[in-house]
Structure 1
C-alpha cells in the first residue's frame, strides 16, 4: 500500500511504515505518535493462519461491523481505541501497548470448550465462562491461567481484575444488542491495550472474525465458522449481521 493522507479531527494524518501484519489486518504508524492506521484485509484464515483464502469485500464488512459496535459501546461508557473510519476498510485508532493476552467470553458451549469437556454444543453457560489465552501465533495461542500470566510478567493481578471487569461490561452490552437483532452471541475474543498513561482500554476489533454468532430462528452460523466448516460464502452471514446492526443502531 502506498502512503496516504486524510484530514481527521482538524489535522492531516499520514499513513507511514507498516508496523505489523496479522491474519486479517495491517497496522501502520502515522505522523501522529498517538494514532495508528489500521487496514482490514480481505483475507480469511483458519487453524491459526494455516489455511488462507481471499474474499473480496470481507475487509470492508468487518471494518463496518467493528466500527458500529465500538460506537455503540462508547455510547454506553466503554473506553476503547477506535477513533474513526477513513475509508471502507481503513480506520484510525489510539496507539496502545497491546497486552499479549486474549480474553475469551463464553455464553454458550462451542468450539474447543465442547471438545475439551465433552459437552453438547450451544448449551447455555450459567454463569458465563471467561478464559485467558497467551497471544502467540507461534505457540497457537495456548490457554493460560492467571498465575501464569502474572508470573511471566504479561499482566499484574490488578491488570487482570480490570480486564475481566471490562470484559464483563462489554459482554452484557454485546449480548443485549445481538439479542435485539435476533442473534445469539455464543462466544468471542477480546483484546486490551494500555495507553501511554497506563490506562487499560478495549482494543483490536469486534467482528464475526472473532465471534460466534447464531441466528436465533434458524441456528445458522453468521461468523467465520462458515469458512472453518466449509459451509459456503462467509460474506453472506457477515452482510446479514451488518444489515441488522445498521437497522438497529441507525
Structure 2
C-alpha cells in the first residue's frame, strides 16, 4: 500500500491526504497536552474514544442541519473528512464560569452565566492562542462580519444541541470550543464545523456530583483521563452499559 502523504500534525491529531480530491484522513492520537503543551503525556485509548465521540457528535449535528466537515469513520482512529480552509480562530461558548474567564473576571468556578457567552481566540500556539475581539478579527482579515455572524449562529446551534444531549445523560456542558472551516461549492462559500468535538474540547461535569469528565482531569491530576472519557461514551450509548472503564475501550458501531 502506498505511503500516505502527511498534511499536518497537531498536538492531538494528524491529517493525511485523503483517497479522493477534496478529502483528508484525520487520525486521532493518544497524546494529551495542557497549558499550551507544557504538560504532556500519552493516554492509551484516548484517540480511539475521541474519534468515536467526535463522530457521534458530528453525525448528530448533521441530523439537525448543522454542516460539518465529517464524512465517515474509517476505523478505530481515523475519519474521512472534507477538506476545508480553517479560519484561524477558536470559537469558545461558555454556559458556566470555568477556566480562564474566572481568572480574567474574578468569577467563581461553576457560576451560571446570564446567557451563553461567545469568545474568540486567535489560533497561534507561539502566542498562547490569545483572546481577540471582533474588531481584531475584521481588521486583520481573519473573517468578515458576515462570517462572524454565521460563526456565532453555528456556535449557538452546537451549544443547544450539545447542552440538551448532555443534560439527558446527567452531564452539564460547562463550555466548549470549536473550529470553523470554509468550503466552496463552485463559487458559493459556506461555513462548517471542523476539527473535532470531544471531551478534549469541552468541559463536562456530572450534574449531581460535579465530577469532571473532561481534560481538566489531566490538567489538574484528578484521576485517569481514559476512565473519564469512557464514562462519557458509556452514558451516550457509544459504549455498552456493562463495559468497565478501560484504557483499551471496546466501541460500538
Normalised to the residue count of structure 2, the TM-score between the two structures is 0.91
The answer to whether residue 155 in structure 2 is matched with residue 164 in structure 1 is: no
**Distance in 2, Cα, partners of 1:46 & 1:241:** 20
1:141 match? 129
Give the aligned partner of residue 242 of structure 2. none
User: Do the aligned residues in 1 keep the contact of 2:70 with 2:80 (CA within 8 Å)?
Assistant: yes
> Match of 1:199?
190
2:50 equivalent among 62, 74, 91: 62
Identify which of 97, 118, 139 aligns with 1:130: 118
For residues 241 and 23 of structure 1, what CA distance do their matches in structure 2 show? Answer: 22
Which stretches in structure 1 are left out of the alignment for 5+ residues?
A: 5-15
Change (3 A) 1:144 1:75: same
Q: Name the counterpart of 1:154.
A: 142
Which of 72, 78, 88 pairs up with 2:76? Answer: 88
Please list the CA deviations of residues 91-128 of structure 1 after superposition, one character each: whole Å capped at 9, or x if unmatched.
10010000001110000000001111111001111111
**What residue in structure 1 maps to residue 247 of structure 2?**
none
Q: TM-score, normalised by structure 1?
A: 0.92
The residue correspondences of 1:89-128 to structure 2 (distance < 5 A) are: 89-128=77-116
| SS at structure 1 position matched to 2:176 | strand
Q: Aligned partners of 2:42 and 2:89: how far apart in 1?
A: 27
Structure 2 CA distance for aligned equivalents of residues 242 and 110 of structure 1: 23
Provide the aligned length of Structure 1 versus Structure 2: 238
**Contact 2:93–2:177 (8 Å) recurs in 1:** yes
1:32 Cα deviation from its structure 2 partner: 1.5
Residue 8 of structure 1 corresponds to none
Residue 227 of structure 2: aligned partner: 236
Compute the displacement of 1:3 (Å): 4.7
